[in-house]
């Protein structure tokens, strides 16, 4: 009986994927959360985070769209749908 071996470990990043296109939207989400937390602490009102929660999904999506420059119908449709969903959370 032949043994089946599996190679475990991190999947290498493809050559055509730009790491900046991955990390900048992530950093923008964390930056926005930090800014919202800072404003909430200065105002001594943590309920402001509840209103800004939906924007945490819209901002990285917009940043990713601007970085990629891929303005075709499908990416605009996804952006609009995520934006509607994010605004619904606000």
Question: What Cα–Cα distance (Å) separates residue 87 from each residue in 50, 61, 75, 81?
Answer: 12, 13, 18, 10
What integer pLDDT is reported at residue 76 of this predicted model? 92
Could you report the per-residue pLDDT of 18-74, keeping only the tens digit for each?
888 889 999 999 999 999 999 999 999 988 888 888 899 999 999 999 998 888 899
Q: Say if pTM beats, i.e. exceeds, 0.95.
A: no
What integer pLDDT is reported at residue 87 of this predicted model? 92
Distance of alpha carbon 32 from alpha carbon 38, whole angstroms? 10
- Other C-beta atoms closer than 10 Å to the C-beta of 28 total 18
Question: What Cα–Cα distance (Å) separates residue 67 from each residue in 47, 52, 55, 63?
Answer: 32, 23, 18, 6
């Amino acid at each position: 009986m032949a043994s089946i071996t599996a190679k475990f470990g991190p999947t290498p990043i493809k050559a055509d994927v730009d790491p900046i296109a991955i990390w900048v939207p992530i950093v923008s989400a964390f930056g926005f959360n930090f800014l919202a937390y800072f404003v909430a602490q200065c105002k001594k009102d943590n309920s402001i985070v509840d209103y800004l929660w939906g924007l945490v999904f819209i901002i990285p999506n917009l940043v990713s769209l601007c970085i990629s420059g891929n303005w075709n119908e499908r990416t605009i449709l996804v952006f609009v749908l995520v934006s509607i969903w994010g605004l619904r959370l606000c």
